Amino acid sequence: MYMYEGDTVSLRRLEPSDADIFFEYWNDYQLRKNFPNPFPRTLEDIQDFITSRNKSFAGRWVFTFGIEDTTNGALVGFIDLSNINWISRTAMIDNIVIFDKEKRGKGYGKEAMLLLLNFAFNIIGLHNVCLYVYRFNQHAIEFYKNFGFQIVGNLREAAYIDGKRDDTVIMDIIRSEFIDKYGHLPH
């Protein structure tokens, strides 16, 4: 069942059957090295992850969406909105992942991010969405800037990847900036 649909992707809740697709890609170090927990996972670990994320979804404190290709219904990745503070109306984007290297750079992530931000600002009424990104990941920083995210801070040497320390960049966008750029998208 689609919750939010764009031209190339739809966002939907994760399903137990998604575990096999996650497992196929999750243990690729190049994919998971940018995650806070880069350790390999078993199929059971991934099943538990999906169950946990769906419980958090139902509790309305983490929204993890599967990213599905609208042309063939294939799960191509996931994206999530977490650390939701319903009083301050803030949240954080923890992950945006396109599993298959061949599908990256094809617009799936861009449309998924746009759908997620529309959900955050125009559907559940958040005021501020932030994220952390490693400074060496300039491609990701530019990706986020294209949506209107701004660099608002820096955590010095907070990242440790491949034996090297690097800074973690804090970026955010507020509702009015999103509305000025994109307006109210249909949902």
Q: Give me the residue spans of the domains in the chain.
A: 4-182
Q: How much is the pLDDT for 186?
A: 63
| Band of pLDDT at residue 156, cut at 50, 70 and 90 | very high
Rounded CA separation 112/97 (Å)? 10
Tens digits of residue pLDDT in 101-142: 888 889 999 999 999 999 999 999 999 999 999 999 999 999
Average pLDDT of the segment spanning 154-163? 91
Task: Note the CATH number of domain 4-182.
Answer: 3.40.630.30
Q: How much is the pLDDT for 39?
A: 67
Tens digits of residue pLDDT in 5-24: 999 999 999 999 999 998 88
- Residue with the bigger pLDDT between 34 and 22: it is 22
Rounded CA separation 2/84 (Å)? 22
Place of tokens 């491949």: 162
Closest CA to 121 of 60, 171, 173: 173
DSSP string, 95-160: EEEE--GGGTTSSHHHHHHHHHHHIIIIIS--SEEEEEEETT-HHHHHHHHTTT-EEEEEEEEEEE
Average pLDDT of the segment spanning 43-47? 91
Q: What is the pTM of this model?
A: 0.92
Q: How much is the pLDDT for 149?
A: 98
Closest CA to 79 of 60, 96, 59, 103: 96
